């Protein structure tokens, strides 16, 4: 690595699971080479995503520049050179033997720029963020295996999946990533419009698809939204920082439009009244 400029800064985190490695790197500008010695023995394919800044890679006689959430597929088995501005990057490494059979044209896909507008790439970015910030990586072996399969599905869909792989991914990795994205949307917008029509428009799917996602988890959209709103109110009533706000104000702020409904559902969910929670009698 060769720093560009007078000061060098780099923050890197690495995660490894069977069949998957994730690197999260941010820092100042630099130039770097993956030498033949480093590449020797590796058979991984690496999807490099540039979330901030500009990343330019050269490999196999081709050059690709990505930015603004775009991505490029590299082969870890072949030397490469790259340069970056002040940037934030996420690299997803997978064994070629696992990923290549899922791709329509694995060799042709190398060094092709994938724009941030590709829906599968946006889903993948959100799913990776979930993995490294949730407890998923510390879960059971089965949870980890499922997560690895989901990432493989999303990468294949991002790069160009075969018909069979696309069908599997639609019911597995893509489905899981969409569900997580929709749930996160709801959690961030409880005080606003989280109706099925609005969510469907934001996530570019049909209302029926969203209903089926929640049915697959033996619940419904309305039940999930209600649970999230009740949980938020309970948490805020237990927090001294919100002691100056009335119970009604907190409930309305979480998206409830009717206090009688709120009080009834709160008691049904927690077995106590909102006043009990606020006073510590729970």
Q: Output phi, psi for 156, to 5 deg.
A: -60, -45
Instruction: Give which of 124, 67, 88 is closest to 13, Cα–Cα.
Output: 88
CA distance 240 to 274: 14
Average pLDDT of the chain to the nearest whole number: 93
* Residue limits of CATH 2.60.120.10 in the chain: 2-180
Residues of the chain with CATH 1.10.10.60: 189-282
130 band by pLDDT with thresholds 50, 70 and 90? confident
The domain defined by 189-282 carries CATH number 1.10.287.70: no
Structural tokens at position 97: 């033997």
CATH of domain 2-180: 2.60.120.10
| pLDDT band at residue 200 under the 50/70/90 scheme | very high
Letter string b/e over residues 131-161, b meaning 16 or more CB atoms within 10 A of that residue's CB: beeeebbeeeeeebebbbbbbbbbbbbbbbb
Q: State the pTM of this model.
A: 0.84
How many other β-carbons are positioned within 10 Å of the β-carbon of residue 167? 11
pLDDT attached to residue 47: 97
Confidence check: pLDDT of 13 > 90: yes
């Amino acid at each position: 690595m060769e720093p560009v400029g007078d000061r060098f800064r780099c923050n890197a985190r690495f995660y490894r699971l069977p069949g998957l490695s994730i690197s999260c790197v941010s820092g100042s500008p630099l130039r770097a080479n993956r030498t033949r010695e480093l590449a020797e023995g590796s058979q991984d394919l690496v999807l490099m995503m540039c979330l901030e800044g500009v990343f330019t890679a050269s490999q196999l006689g081709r050059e690709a520049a990505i930015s603004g959430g775009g991505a490029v597929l590299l082969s870890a088995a072949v030397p490469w050179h790259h340069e970056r501005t002040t940037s934030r990057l996420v690299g997803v490494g997978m064994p070629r033997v696992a990923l290549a059979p899922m791709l329509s044209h694995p060799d042709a896909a190398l060094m092709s720029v994938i724009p941030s507008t590709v829906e599968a790439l946006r889903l993948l970015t959100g799913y990776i963020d979930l993995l490294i910030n949730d407890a998923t990586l510390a879960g059971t072996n089965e949870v980890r295996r499922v997560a690895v399969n989901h990432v493989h599905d999303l990468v294949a869909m991002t790069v160009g999946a075969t018909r069979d792989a696309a069908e599997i991914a639609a019911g597995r990795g893509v489905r899981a990533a969409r569900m997580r994205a929709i749930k996160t949307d709801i959690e961030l917008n409880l005080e606003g419009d989280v109706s099925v029509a609005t969510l469907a428009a934001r996530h570019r799917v049909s209302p029926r698809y969203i209903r089926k996602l929640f049915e697959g988890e033996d619940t419904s959209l309305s039940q999930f939204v209600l649970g999230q709103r009740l949980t938020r109110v309970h948490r805020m009533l237990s927090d001294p920082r919100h002691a100056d706000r009335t119970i009604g104000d907190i409930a309305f702020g979480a998206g409830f439009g009717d206090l009688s409904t709120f009080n009834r559902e709160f008691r049904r969910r927690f077995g106590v009244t909102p006043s009990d929670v606020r006073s510590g009698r729970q």
